[in-house]
A and B are shown apart, each in its own frame.
Chain A
Amino acid sequence: MSFLSYLRVETGRIFRSRIFWLAAVLTLCAPIAGYLFYFPATLNHESSIGLWIANPALAGTFGGTVLFALLTLYELDRVYRKEMASLTDTIVSTLMLSSSRTLSLLLAAAAAVVCAAVLYLPYTLYRTGALWDGGYYLFAYLGLMLPTVWSGILLAAALYQFTRRVELSAVLLTALVLLSMSQYVSDQFLLRWINPLVPWCSDYFGNLRVIQTGLYSRLLWLLLSASLWLLSLPAIRKYGYGLGRSFLKGCRKIYLPFTAFVLIGCGFGMYLCQPFINHSQMEYASFSSHPMSTEPKLTIDEVEITCKPNVMTGTQQGTATYKIFNLEKEDVVETFIMNCGYTIDKVTANGETIPYTDLNNDLNFEKQIEVTIPPGYVTLVMEYSGMPQVWNGLRGSLTGTVFSPEFISLEMCDFYPYHSFIEHGKLELTLPEKLIPISNWVDIEVNLISENTDGTRTWELEPPRGGYFGNLYAAEYIALETETENISAVFYCPKKQQAAMEEVNIQQILADVLEYCSAHYGTPPFAEEGKLRLIEAGIPAMMGGYAVDQTSIMSENTFYEKIYTASAETANSPEIMIHEIVHQWWGLGKNLYDDNTASNGWSSEGLTTYTTYRIIKEKYGEEYAKEHCVDVWQSQADYLKNNFYFRYPEYLDRLPEQYAARVRGSVDSIMMYSVVPLKILKAEKLVGGEEKMDEILKGLFTNQNLNPITYADFLDACGLTEEALELD
């Protein structure tokens, strides 16, 4: 009989076995856990794609893998359990039998997964409605679930063939499952073999990075499990030999170990050369730790950049042309920084190719490139390409610069080799025609310069002389205008979300916040001439929000419809949106800072958090505000007060730096976001209530003094002392 005949017989037998049907039915039921209690894609749990596609598919992935792995052990042990091995071994080669059996299990698993995908399709279509994403659905079931179930089958078969003991194989498999689910690998997408890392799902801005990392990790595990399985084939016991002798005999078929080692090599190659996460340290380090040159040896009058992103692959090709004057009379080695994912293809000076060194010294998002620049006036051209990488410190959230068909996010250093002495720059960016670029800096001119025949449009961005490019977001944006008595604002949200946003009357919600702040503290300086800009950024780029000059940027999870239609009991995220708008008053309108900020936590965050609490209190009531703001601050402050390292800071110095940085980061955050708001709340009581405090804050905000508001200024305005605001 040929291999195909054995495969046909084995597949028929598997499909007739009751235990297979039990495993298949349970696999079909497994996604239900994703609707009820298993929510691995939880960073933004309100996302429809996450709720109705990712979570059920990931539950099916886990359940299906465990079930088919157990089925594999059961099926492979069958001939030994029934003591038929001595008979079958005389009829058919063990290698042929084991291969056809494993392959038939792979086919059976594929049938079960396809059935699951078909079964849940109508319900998913119904629940996701207009947000349905067919590509993501296929990825979830056929790109994540199927390869994982296959890996489980191959691993189980390999373990059984090595150990020839069902219980031991089950224990080893359990250990592998637990390892994959442990906290040690929770943020490493490549090491999670049974529970793929899907940290977020985007309803409006695409999921390219999650899809790419998901497929890459599945391929890696398929290679590794297939190699282990191939390596286990010679270990199948024969002639009554034990593991060692059977393996040695089996290895005479040299193609088996050879192919296995080739696959293992490919797997390790994929692990070491993964293109998504850089190799930076996990703790954020400031630019000062870069050995950048501090004394200018040259001036860079201008840079013209041409970027052509390939949104299907998430990569880009760019050319940066610098007009440089080298002040020295000799060659100068100058350092540029750029995203770690790019490689320099060519560098020319006045048309001549010149040497450069990629230092590959990843730090945060960037690495350094050293270029030798000849003396005098030089036109330096750098050609570069690649996929922007996620900073290692964010490897668990997979957020950062991204090129995708639905969304592009670029930080300053993420689209060209950057140098701090550049006087003026111009960026030419070719994007799919539906994407509209918006910079986070209001004074950057964004002009459409051409509509191309290939379905793209070319935009030109030009910051004022001496200005920065800032961060750039491009999506299918529409602008929703909001007018209040004193301020007007424009909210950029994806076109796909327009109906939902209008349904919840987002313009009125935004107007309420703007009205509250202007009525209580005064109008911010930009209100007379311009508009406040609110930009919704995709979750692939960031979680949370930030504010810069006249612009507040918030991630899409701040604007899910559910948040604004929820009752006061369930609402939880308008705080982020309110917080980032309030920063236009505290932080950008008036900065709060003093020399003791590192120790007393005094910063714009404290007053912004307090104001957010006041708006929440007005909107949702006192009880809600107390529970969601004051009680949370108090518990954080209590935690800090009782924390061992806060009580005994001398022990912090004894900790290894990574742990000390973790503790210090936590202390700083609690001081800024919890302790200072509590002190302001205490001050509010001491000065005579909310109205009095509003008067004081209005006085501070409208003060013409351009210096930052210090803690001492605040205390003076309140007529209080530092001791009076100490917390109990």
Chain B
Amino acid sequence: MIKIFLYELRRILTNKFFVGLFIVTCIYSWQTLSGDIITGVANTAPFSAWSYGLYLGKTAPLLVITLLFFVTFLYSRKEKQVQSITSTTSFSPARYCLLRCAAMAVGYLLLSVAVIGISFFFYDWVFQFSDFGNLLLPILLILLPTFVFFLGLGMAAGRIFPPILYGIMLLVLIFGQIALPPVADLFGIQFYQSYPLTLPLGADGEPAFSVPASFWIGKILYLAAGGLLMFAALFKKKRTY
């Protein structure tokens, strides 16, 4: 099983799209940090959890697009042709699919590590800031629900009609640009810019990082929706004639 997992992982990591998107994401991350984040978000420090949330929110669409590209590999024409052979093996298709999801998760994780690593380097280089502990919550709040939701959505959509995946990629880009209420703001781009302005200031003149219940509920709903969609895509049998 590990052998299959490693094989799938290697297929993802050596794919030319992954390499291209990896480079694009790294460049975009640096530009976002040095363009939008360096002046601080909502009057907070550039290295506050609020500013960091916005940084991750802005880079998340690229991570999602990479993830959706991974998902397109599952449903490509060639893949379907190979499926007639792999399905004859004793290995459960659902387990095989889970293994491939795990490989995708590792690919997504590596890309996320690159995005986070670039930001840590930037903060240390420009501001000599290295207290990264308070940035953990925004990382979890953005990257985890985003991964689960779009993996589930992508798998479900790919199962129904694979070209929808490209439409979803386009929607992801638009999704990041429109103002949404906190409960629906998956990337948090609006939330991290506007919510801190409504909070009382602490002794250091910065609003403490706290997230309203509606934002938590939204993330949980996205996680649940993603989980359900993934489950449906993995275990619901497609009718064949």
Contact = CB atoms under 8 A, between A and B. Distances in A.
A645 B40 contact: yes
A686 B105 CA distance: 65
8 contacts: A167-B166, A174-B173, A642-B43, A644-B45, A654-B128, A655-B38, A656-B34, A656-B126
B202 to A, nearest CB: 12
B201 A662 contact: no
Nearest to B169: A171
Contacts of B201: 642
Contact of B126 (A178, A642, A655): A655
Chain A, interface size category, equals 20 to 34
A659 interface: yes
Given A178-B173, A654-B128, A655-B38, A643 B43 contact: yes
Contact of B40 (A170, A178, A643, A656): A643
A655 B46 CA distance: 11
A697 interface: no
A533 B59 CA distance: 53
Contact of A659 (B39, B170, B205): B39
Interface string B15-48: 0000000000000000100110011100111100
Contacts of A647: 205
Contacts of A645: 39-40
Chain B, interface size category, equals 20 to 34
B205 A183 contact: no
Interface in A631-675: 639, 642-645, 647-648, 651, 654-656, 659, 662-663
Contacts of A644: 40, 43-46, 205-206
What is the interface of chain B mostly: helix, strand, loop, or mixed? loop
A184 to B, nearest CB: 7
Contact of B166 (A171, A651, A655, A662): A171
Contacts of A171: 166, 169
B39 A651 contact: no
Given A647-B205, A654-B126, A654-B127, A174 B170 contact: yes
Contacts of B163: 167
Given A171-B169, A642-B205, A663 B39 contact: yes
Contacts of A648: 45
Nearest to A175: B24
Contacts of A651: 45, 127
Contacts of B169: 171, 174
Nearest to B48: A644
A663 B43 CA distance: 12
Contact of B43 (A170, A174, A184, A639): A639
Given A639-B43, A647-B205, A663-B39, A170 B126 contact: no
B150 to A, nearest CB: 16
Which 8 residue pairs across A and B have the least CB separation, nearest first? A642-B43, A644-B40, A167-B166, A647-B205, A644-B45, A643-B43, A659-B38, A654-B127
A183 B163 CA distance: 29
A319 to B, nearest CB: 46
- Which of A178, A639, A642 gathers the greatest number of chain B CB atoms within 10 Å? A642
A696 to B, nearest CB: 35
Contacts of A178: 173
A184 B31 contact: yes
Interface in B137-171: 163, 166, 169-170
A372 B45 CA distance: 53
Contacts of B127: 651, 654
